[in-house]
């Protein structure tokens, strides 16, 4: 029985691996190449306390980068930094809330003073929210948290660091967007997430056109499912996806090759379809949405938040599915 279960497990794992190789964005599997790209470089990773950000910080530090990590969970961040240091890497951790302007500005000042200009900035931090618009109307503080983490925070940080990158002779900015933006122009219940991620994406791609001449490259990763706490309780968690360590290798691919964007392979046609047939595509999504209900996790998180009474602090990523 046990043997049968193990065999079924490995067949599933093989099938998932094959699928990711076929449709997932490419991963950098060559550590020597990563080392050549990052050794001795100062790399800022936002949202490095969990998930893809943590795995990226570990991978790049293991290959010689001086990693500067930020997130709100200071204890967790310090733990990751200590582990990196104990295994011979260099990591610095700072508690920063991207939705707090003063926190971002003060961090950027410290970063420039203590570590100098960033060679590579990885905008990984993000906050997800799948919720109907009528429920959102009752939870306006979540809107501010979403905008800060996904849009204004990363913009403010970029603005604070860009001049020093230019002065330093160039650099690379990597942003983690979502495949949702790549595949659909819009999607019901994802208005805040797609709106904020999309806003930053368009902003950064516009900036890219200006800073190219200063030797600053910009890459956007339209990431598919990453098996992190962000989607742990969502229906998405049941679909094939990258582990955080695999997702970190997608980021490493971006860092070593510096493409303009990375997206799930072979999805160009779906993207084109979505743009050309935007109305019927939207109608299908609305129909599916009308037939589906809130997920149990989303329902529970919403009820929890509402029972805490008027406008409690913003939901955590895990709750906000």
- For residues 176 and 223, the answer to whether their CB atoms sit within 8 Å is yes
b/e sequence 261-286, b meaning 16+ C-beta within 10 Å? bbbbeebeeebeebeeeeeebbeebe
Instruction: For the CB of residue 279, give the shortest distance to ligand NAP in the complex, in Å.
Output: 26
DSSP SS3 for 67: strand
Question: Phi then psi for 112, rounded to 5 degrees?
Answer: -65, -40
> Closest CB to ligand NAP among 128 and 298?
128
67 forms beta bridges with 43, 91
Alpha-carbon span 112 to 103, nearest angstrom: 14
Whole-angstrom CA distances from 245 to 59, 75, 96, 235 are: 8, 21, 23, 21
> Closest CB to ligand NAP among 125 and 216?
125
Question: Phi then psi for 91, rounded to 5 degrees?
Answer: -145, 140
Instruction: For the CB of residue 3, give the shortest distance to ligand NAP in the complex, in Å.
Output: 32
Alpha-carbon span 3 to 104, nearest angstrom: 52
Instruction: For the CB of residue 313, give the shortest distance to ligand NAP in the complex, in Å.
Output: 11
> Closest CB to ligand NAP among 170 and 195?
195
- For residues 55 and 45, the answer to whether their CB atoms sit within 8 Å is no
Instruction: For the CB of residue 71, give the shortest distance to ligand NAP in the complex, in Å.
Output: 4
68 forms beta bridges with 44, 92
Instruction: For the CB of residue 191, give the shortest distance to ligand NAP in the complex, in Å.
Output: 15
Instruction: For the CB of residue 298, give the shortest distance to ligand NAP in the complex, in Å.
Output: 15
Dihedral over alpha carbons 52, 55, 57, 61 (to 10 degrees)? -160
Q: Output the six-digit token pair for 146.
A: 């979403």
> Closest CB to ligand NAP among 164 and 245?
245
> Closest CB to ligand NAP among 124 and 158?
124
Instruction: For the CB of residue 53, give the shortest distance to ligand NAP in the complex, in Å.
Output: 5
Residue ranges binding ligand NAP (CB under 6 A) = 47, 49-53, 71-73, 96-99, 124-128, 148-149, 176, 178, 223, 225-226, 228-231, 236, 317
Out of 94, 193, 222, 253, the active site residue is 193
Respond yes or no: is residue 134 known to be catalytic.
Answer: no
Residue 35 CB neighbour total at 10 angstroms: 16
Alpha-carbon span 234 to 321, nearest angstrom: 6
Report which of 272, 275, 261 is spatially closest to residue 25, judged by C-alpha positions.
Answer: 261
> Closest CB to ligand NAP among 42 and 124?
124
> Closest CB to ligand NAP among 50 and 302?
50
Kindly list the catalytic residues: 193
């Amino acid at each position: 029985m046990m043997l049968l279960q193990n065999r079924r497990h490995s067949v599933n794992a093989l099938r998932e691996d094959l699928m990711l190789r076929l449709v997932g964005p490419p991963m950098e599997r060559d550590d020597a190449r990563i080392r050549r790209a990052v050794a001795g470089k100062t790399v800022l990773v936002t949202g490095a306390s969990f998930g893809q950000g943590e795995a990226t910080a570990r991978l790049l530090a293991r290959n010689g980068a001086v990693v500067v990590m930020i997130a709100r969970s200071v204890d967790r961040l310090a733990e990751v930094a200590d582990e990196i240091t104990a295994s011979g890497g260099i990591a610095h951790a700072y508690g920063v809330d991207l939705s707090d302007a003063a926190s971002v500005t003060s961090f950027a000042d410290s970063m420039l003073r203590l570590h100098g200009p960033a060679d590579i900035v990885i905008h990984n931090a993000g906050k997800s929210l799948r919720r109907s618009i009528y429920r959102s109307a009752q939870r306006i503080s979540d809107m501010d948290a979403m905008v800060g983490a996904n849009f204004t925070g990363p913009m403010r940080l970029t603005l604070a660091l860009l001049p020093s990158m230019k002065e330093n002779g160039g650099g690379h900015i990597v942003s983690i967007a979502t495949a949702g933006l790549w595949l659909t122009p819009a999607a019901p219940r994802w208005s805040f997430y797609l709106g904020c991620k999309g806003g930053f994406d368009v902003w950064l791609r516009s900036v890219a056109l200006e800073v190219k001449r200063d030797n600053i490259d910009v890459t956007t990763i339209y990431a598919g499912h990453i098996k992190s706490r962000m989607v742990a309780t969502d229906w998405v968690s049941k679909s094939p996806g990258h582990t955080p360590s695999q997702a970190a290798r997608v980021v490493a691919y971006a860092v070593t090759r510096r493409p303009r964007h990375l997206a799930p392979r072979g999805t160009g046609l779906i993207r084109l379809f979505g743009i050309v047939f935007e109305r019927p595509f939207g109608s299908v999504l609305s129909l599916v949405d009308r037939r589906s209900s809130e997920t149990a996790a989303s329902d529970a998180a919403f009820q929890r938040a509402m029972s805490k009474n008027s406008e409690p602090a913003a939901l955590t990523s895990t709750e906000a599915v």
